Structure 1
Amino acid sequence: MSSQPPEPPPPNPTTAHGSDRKLRADARRNRERVLRTAQQLFATEGLGVSLDEIARRAGVGPGTVHRHFPAKEALYLAVATDQIRQLVAEAEALAASSDPAALFTLLSAMMASGAENVAVKSALVAAEFDLRTAAPDVAADLTRHVADLLDRAHAAGTVRSDLTVEEVMALVAGAFAAIRHIGAETSRDRSAHIAQLILDGLRPHPR
């Protein structure tokens, strides 16, 4: 009589799925930690910081960073896209409020975010990356929220009546260029002053 080794018990679906979810959650947390750390380091120390140094500061292994971002350009793009997602979340919160000046709050946040990460945006331009094509859904969401808040501001009379959303987005991009032109990337006061000059130009002129 031949004896065969017992078959291994089938995997417990609940345990397996739970482990998968935990791994996915851990991977997401690690990725977010890397993105936040990279954003801060790029803003304060420049783009020369290495992927290994970002991993060390984020408290993860170098393999984790290289697995998610095999090239520096991939990390630049992810940081810029993540910033837009944060701005979309802020726009959604503002849309849920009744503040007629919410447009100016959002534009201030957009300009501050861009000022802190103008180097990343410049690197993407140099690498011929365009966020509008690389992350079209996220970019479109932000533009849509700006348009909605602009409509609210028009109705409340808190913004020039002849202002279009295309002009608003162009002025925000222009603010980034102006901030970089005078080397104000590392000065929140100077970059905020430029942003305020632009925002003041969007308000109705007194008659």
Structure 2
Amino acid sequence: MLGPVTPKADQGAILRADAARNRARVLQVAREQLAAGDDSLQLNAIARLAGVGVGTVYRHFPNQHALREALSADRFRELVGEAQAAAETDDALAGLHRLLRFALARALEDPGFAAVLESAADAEAHTSQLKAELDRAVARLLDRARLTGAIRRDVEADDVRRLLCGIEHALRAGDRGPARTEVYLDVLLEGLRPSR
């Protein structure tokens, strides 16, 4: 039995020029749909608007989640860079605060990115690699914060990502104002501290 189709671009192969143009066109149309307020990402409709066959879209993006991952790749790389910078800061706890605030703001701005960030399974190998890089940077940051006694020992990088996604859901369901965001972040940070 065959598994899901993985786009050739994620396997490291170079796409033919026409395939690369088609992929770029599909991503452009999907971004335009999102900008217009349509976050349904219906692959058949995107194929029609992009002027390509449905099979072409499905070859590059076997499902909506794969398309969301591709659309979120730049944002995810930005988050990984921020996590790596936070892991190198002199004050690990301040770096963690800054990283959590940054990640939450990006997740609230972009529900598709939030869905990719919280997903337990990835459609693209590239997304899994980015999550692994993110978790490594956050693990380094947590280890440094633990050395100063600022973070409890039983919390891992993946836990922090899931907790942050929970806050994103809570804010999306209610008041997303800056004051409420700070309250929720404070609750998370307090929960990360060792028991007194």
Matched residue, 2:152:
161
Alpha-carbon shift at residue 191 of structure 1 (Å): 6.1
Q: Are 2:93 and 1:104 equivalent residues in the alignment?
A: no
Alpha-carbon shift at residue 110 of structure 1 (Å): 1.7
Alpha-carbon shift at residue 70 of structure 1 (Å): 7.7
* Kept in 1: contact 2:69–2:116 (CA 8 A): no
Structure-2-length-normalised TM-score: 0.59
* Kept in 2: contact 1:107–1:172 (CA 8 A): yes
Percent identity, please.
Answer: 27
Mind listing any 5+ residue stretches in structure 1 that lack a counterpart?
Answer: 1-19
CA distance in 2, matches of 1:124, 1:138: 10
* Kept in 2: contact 1:91–1:142 (CA 8 A): yes
CA distance in 1, matches of 2:189, 2:114: 25
- Write the deviation string for residues 134-182 of structure 1: whole angstroms up to 9, x where unpaired: 432211111111111011112233x333451143233112212212332
- Structure (1 or 2) with the larger CA radius of gyration: 1
* CA distance 1:203–1:156, shift in 2 (3 Å): same
Q: Which amino acid letter does the alignment assign opposite residue 190 of structure 2?
A: G
Correspondent of 1:74 among 48, 66, 74:
66
* Kept in 2: contact 1:175–1:198 (CA 8 A): no
Matched residue, 2:6:
none
* Kept in 1: contact 2:66–2:123 (CA 8 A): no
Matched residue, 2:128:
136
* Kept in 2: contact 1:112–1:191 (CA 8 A): no
- Write the deviation string for residues 95-128 of structure 1: whole angstroms up to 9, x where unpaired: 3332322122112222222222235645998xxx
Paired residues in the alignment total 173
* Kept in 2: contact 1:95–1:149 (CA 8 A): yes
Query: Within 5 Å, which residues of 2 pair with 1:37-186?
Result: 38=31, 42=34, 45-48=37-40, 72-100=64-92, 101-118=94-111, 121-122=114-115, 130-132=120-122, 134=124, 135-157=127-149, 159-165=150-156, 166-182=158-174, 184=175
* Kept in 2: contact 1:76–1:124 (CA 8 A): no
CA distance in 1, matches of 2:64, 2:108: 20
* CA distance 1:176–1:62, shift in 2 (3 Å): farther
CA distance in 1, matches of 2:191, 2:35: 28
Correspondent of 1:196 among 185, 190, 193:
185
Q: Which amino acid letter does the alignment assign opposite residue 113 of structure 1?
A: R
Q: Which moved more, 1:110-119 or 1:193-202?
A: 193-202
